Amino acid sequence: MEFSAIVVAAGEGVRAGPGGPKTWRTLGGRPILRWSVEAMLAAGARQVVVVVAPDRLGELARALSGLEGWISVGGGATRTASVQAGLLPINTRHAVLVHDAARPFLAPDHVARLLTALDTAPAATLALPVADTLKRGEAGRIISTVDREGLWRAQTPQAFAPGVLQTALSVTGSDQSPTDDVALIERQGLTAALVAGDPLLMKLTYPEDFEMAERLAGGQRLSRIGQGVDAHRFGPGDHVWLCGVRIPHNQGLIGHSDADAGLHALTDAILGAVGEGDIGQHFPPSDPQWRGAASDRFLTHAASLVAARGGRIINVDITLVCERPRIGPHREAMRARLAEILALPLDRVSVKATTTEGMGFTGREEGVLAQAVAIVETP
């Protein structure tokens, strides 16, 4: 069955506490409403109509940049008015799924279950049986215990066979606004199906919900590895820079910048982990502004590209290959400097050194070779 989706994000979410309207906050590095739009598109929605407050249409375009297949409409004063506005552009031959943007953990499987239910019912909602004992209370005291038998918690999406929601809304006054949409067709005497919901589809309502969601979102983060290699040749000089530390030596390292092979290898490793090319693309050797530059800034730039994706560097490991200078006496200073540049705890930064036993260009003391790996975690 072909379907389209309405993602409702018009509310201001006053119960969620400070931090702005809840669906505009980020979760795992993405705006919360983007999670639902991506999920609906992934599930095969023909059209996704996103309903937001009219003054946020510009912000929505930024929040959903890079996605195709959605349109936006300005919402109304009530939930029903917002759904009504979202329904207008939708093809009447499509089934319609209405979803709260505040439920970000939507998966294609949820959508598939609802569409199956529409084979035999005019509407369907995801719902969970009430497991807790229910109390009716007043002023902090229990008035009575409510029998939970037969009670369900309605979630979203809620699904409607083609034309059903349009008909229900045409007979609903805009002043009537139930807290869910299936209630509209219940009023018409139609029977909607209960479809097994999912605790993960929780609605982010209170401040503590966001903490839990962030932990769940963390479980969906991606670990990525990058590696880098660099070498620089010895030449005249009285010191070398390696891993951000100045080491007195009877030669220098030749390069366009400060020739810090350790930082260059690590910069490439981090760029590699996020698929951002290599150091030469970001800082072309042909560009005179990088002549003699301290390589810290290359590393800082790579780290900022990770942060810009909502990612973080987990750990880095560098191996320096040379006969001289001896690295051991400087190893801890190098780790400390790298940890400082990357704002990482010291135990996530490793610097190792080895020689090639006199073999090859490092063995002949023609230059220094550096290798690095970095693990990066991104949404």
Per CB under 5 A, residues contacting Mg ion are: 230, 264
248's enclosing H/E stretch is strand 245-248
Q: Among residues 100 and 230, whose Cβ is nearest to Mg ion?
A: 230
Q: How far is the CB of 258 from Mg ion (least distance, A)?
A: 9
Q: For residue 348, with 0-12 CB atoms within 10 Å meaning exposed, 13-18 middle and 19 or more buried, which class applies?
A: middle
Q: How far is the CB of 290 from Mg ion (least distance, A)?
A: 11
Q: Among residues 15 and 291, whose Cβ is nearest to Mg ion?
A: 291
Q: Is 281 helix (H, G, I), strand (E, B) or coil?
A: helix
Contact assessment for residue 351 and residue 335, using Cβ atoms and an 8 Å cutoff: yes
Q: Is 250 helix (H, G, I), strand (E, B) or coil?
A: coil
Q: Among residues 372 and 375, whose Cβ is nearest to Mg ion?
A: 372
Q: How far is the CB of 349 from Mg ion (least distance, A)?
A: 20
Phi, psi dihedrals of residue 232, rounded to the nearest 5°: -135, 150
Q: Among residues 33 and 322, whose Cβ is nearest to Mg ion?
A: 322
**Count of beta carbons in the 10 Å neighbourhood of residue 68:** 7
Q: How far is the CB of 261 from Mg ion (least distance, A)?
A: 6
Q: Among residues 126 and 370, whose Cβ is nearest to Mg ion?
A: 370
In this structure, the dihedral spanned by the alpha carbons of residues 326, 328, 329 and 332, taken in order and rounded to 10 degrees, is 140
Q: What does R_g of the chain's alpha carbons equal in angstroms?
A: 29
Tell me the C-alpha distance between 195 and 20, whole Å. Answer: 33
Q: Among residues 59 and 278, whose Cβ is nearest to Mg ion?
A: 278
**Count of beta carbons in the 10 Å neighbourhood of residue 290:** 19
Return the residue nearest Mg ion (CB atom). Answer: 264
> Tokens 């930082």 correspond to what residue?
263
Terminal Cα distance for the chain, rounded: 32
Q: How far is the CB of 230 from Mg ion (least distance, A)?
A: 4
Q: How far is the CB of 114 from Mg ion (least distance, A)?
A: 55
Q: Which amino acid is at 317?
A: D
Q: How far is the CB of 366 from Mg ion (least distance, A)?
A: 15
Q: Among residues 17 and 280, whose Cβ is nearest to Mg ion?
A: 280
Q: How far is the CB of 228 from Mg ion (least distance, A)?
A: 10
Q: How far is the CB of 293 from Mg ion (least distance, A)?
A: 11
Q: Among residues 79 and 264, whose Cβ is nearest to Mg ion?
A: 264
196's enclosing H/E stretch is strand 193-196
Q: Is 86 helix (H, G, I), strand (E, B) or coil?
A: helix
Phi, psi dihedrals of residue 281, rounded to the nearest 5°: -75, -35
State how beta strands 245-248 and 349-354 pair: unpaired
Q: Among residues 5 and 318, whose Cβ is nearest to Mg ion?
A: 318
The pair of structure tokens assigned to 300 is 């800082």
Q: Is 331 helix (H, G, I), strand (E, B) or coil?
A: helix
